[in-house]
Structure 1
């Protein structure tokens, strides 16, 4: 439990009981999860407190949100470089059209996109859809 507390404090997040439970859950996930997934998996969870915990995690660079085209926002843990000042883990996200899971591919970087003069990038994301390794087999 002390390790979880330290992880939160490193990101300047007060380690409440709910935040510790949510962080523990997220650390055990192999794919991105929605708030509904979290709520259903965590016993006796207050929806508002869960939402606020995830929002705090996002604001402090602990999780990032993923729009995988399903209309349901999913969340995954950030890379260590993310901070309260911003997310610095630009990587590809993969949505499996068979199992419906969304995975972060942190070793697959998004190529730099050169914008024409007068344009300013505020966010970049790349979503690849297909079959994950498990479904392909």
Structure 2
């Protein structure tokens, strides 16, 4: 698994470090988007907070992660599509925010419909969040 993550870092022109590999491992295993405090808890002090912020920022800028804001205004991170680059994110999809457990899920199987903007407008990002109760809380 570590070789896969090293390949992702190399592809996105980032130096392979143990801290970056650890963060990628945590986020890639998560079933929902994860917040910085959740990642920090999983790291158990192996990476300091400032380094973690820098890693998350670099990953987002390079197209490795995308950020989703939850109902509490907290940034959550999920893996990007392999098509994403530092120049463009290509993983346009819905996000589902559970109102009970507050987890944020990427709905990758559902694509956003094309959006027609008025002349002169240029979209840089689209964010569509659905709120409700997830299947785990609904059981």
SS of the residue corresponding to residue 109 of structure 2 reads coil
Q: Are the counterparts in 1 of residues 94 and 127 from structure 2 also a CA contact under 8 Å?
A: yes
Q: CA RMSD in A?
A: 1.2
Q: Distance in 2 between matches of 1:23 and 1:123?
A: 23
Taking the TM superposition and a 5 Å limit, the aligned residue runs for 1:16-95 are 16-44=17-45, 45-95=47-97
* 1:116 counterpart residue number: 118
The alpha-carbon deviation at position 11 of structure 1 amounts to 1.9
Q: Are the counterparts in 2 of residues 110 and 125 from structure 1 also a CA contact under 8 Å?
A: no
SS of the residue corresponding to residue 4 of structure 2 reads helix
Q: Are the counterparts in 1 of residues 70 and 102 from structure 2 also a CA contact under 8 Å?
A: no
Q: Distance in 2 between matches of 1:69 and 1:116?
A: 30
SS of the residue corresponding to residue 108 of structure 1 reads strand
Q: Distance in 1 between matches of 2:71 and 2:114?
A: 22
Q: Distance in 1 between matches of 2:96 and 2:18?
A: 32
1:129 to 103, 128, 131: 131
TM-score scaled by length of structure 1: 0.94
SS of the residue corresponding to residue 106 of structure 1 reads strand
Q: Distance in 1 between matches of 2:91 and 2:133?
A: 23
Q: Distance in 1 between matches of 2:86 and 2:121?
A: 25
Mark the runs of 5 or more structure 2 residues left unpaired by the alignment. Answer: none
The alpha-carbon deviation at position 68 of structure 1 amounts to 2.7
Listed one character per residue, the Cα deviations across residues 54-79 of structure 1 (whole Å, up to 9, x for unaligned) are 11111111000112332111110001
SS of the residue corresponding to residue 25 of structure 1 reads helix
Q: Distance in 1 between matches of 2:52 and 2:104?
A: 21
Q: Distance in 2 between matches of 1:68 and 1:90?
A: 17
Mark the runs of 5 or more structure 1 residues left unpaired by the alignment. Answer: none
**How many residue pairs were aligned?**
137
